[in-house]
């Protein structure tokens, strides 16, 4: 199965090709995208990537795309491109949250990130199975976009995703049995010296998005182009989107 992954959620983006078969999932290539010009780069870069490896767009079996949290313009461009390709080719789309990707990567050997070792380093020896962990991204304006997820042997389970101030995040950290995970030095610096623990994780990219998307496609967790929607950090100053699961 050939998977095309895309992440245009932030200042810098990327696209990636991954191939999955009985031997596992391997990265064919990761291509960075320069922020500010996603709309001009997306389709040409996808075409060039496929051509470079002797592939045609019809060879793609599924798409994985970061649906947020991220910038309004960047996400719109990425989602629009993937929607168009998936609709034309009649191929499945897996939409993934970057926070969900971060949780999945905690358990991923492919990323050489030892979740259990990180827990020991943080002084926590409790079992990770079904643990609730908090992951977060810098949202600017003294805020972070945080997600609380349940670690599961199959796929991460979202409990909540919401915009928090750094003070609110610090309170959340002090109450959690696990450290808070983030790729952003700004969040680590802001919480330094406060209650709770913060550990750095790799920043998601199109490869990690495609890895989780591949698992979702195999599990039948896909979205149609009409259903695919973005989770913007901010639609506008007067409108902030918060996603919570019903109790």
| Domain annotation covers residue 13 | yes
Q: What is the CATH number of the domain that holds 180?
A: 3.30.420
Structure confidence by residue, pLDDT tens digits, 101-117: 999 998 764 443 444 44
The count of other CB atoms within 10 Å of the CB of residue 174 is 12
Global confidence as pTM: 0.84
Same domain, 39 and 157: no
User: Domain range holding 21?
Assistant: 2-97+204-233
Same domain, 70 and 42: yes
* Domain total of the chain: 2
**How far apart, in Å, are the Cα atoms of 149 and each of 10, 29, 136, 234?**
22, 29, 11, 21
Q: How far apart are CA 208 and CA 202, in angstroms?
A: 10
* Lowest mean pLDDT segment, chosen from 29-33, 48-52, 166-170, 201-205: 166-170
Task: Quote the tokens at residue 16.
Answer: 């990636």
Same domain, 112 and 195: yes
Same domain, 121 and 153: yes
| Domain annotation covers residue 243 | no
What rounded mean pLDDT belongs to the chain? 84
Structure confidence by residue, pLDDT tens digits, 109-160: 444 344 444 444 444 444 555 578 899 999 988 999 999 998 877 899 999 8
């Amino acid at each position: 199965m050939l998977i095309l992954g895309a992440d245009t959620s932030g200042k810098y983006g990327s696209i990636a090709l991954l191939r999955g078969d009985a031997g596992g999932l391997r990265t064919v290539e990761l291509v960075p995208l320069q922020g500010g010009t996603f709309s001009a780069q997306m389709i040409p870069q996808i075409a060039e990537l496929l051509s470079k490896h002797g592939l045609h767009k019809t060879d793609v079996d599924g798409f994985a795309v970061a649906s947020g949290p991220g910038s309004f313009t960047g996400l719109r461009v990425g989602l629009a491109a993937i929607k168009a390709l998936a609709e034309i080719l009649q191929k499945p789309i897996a939409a993934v949250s970057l926070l969900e990707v971060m949780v999945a990567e905690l358990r991923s050997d492919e990323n050489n990130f030892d979740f259990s070792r990180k827990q020991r380093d943080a002084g926590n020896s409790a079992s990770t199975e079904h643990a609730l962990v908090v992951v977060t991204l810098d949202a600017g304006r003294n805020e972070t976009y945080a997600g609380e997820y349940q670690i599961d042997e199959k796929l991460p389970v979202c409990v909540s995703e919401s915009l928090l101030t750094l003070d609110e995040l610090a309170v959340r950290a002090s109450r959690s049995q696990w450290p808070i995970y983030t790729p952003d030095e700004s969040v680590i610096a802001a919480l330094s010296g406060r209650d709770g623990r913060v550990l750095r994780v790799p920043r998601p990219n199109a490869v990690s998005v495609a890895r989780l998307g591949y698992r979702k496609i195999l599990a039948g967790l896909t979205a149609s182009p009409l259903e695919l929607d973005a989770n913007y950090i901010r639609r506008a100053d007067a409108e902030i989107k918060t996603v919570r699961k019903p109790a």
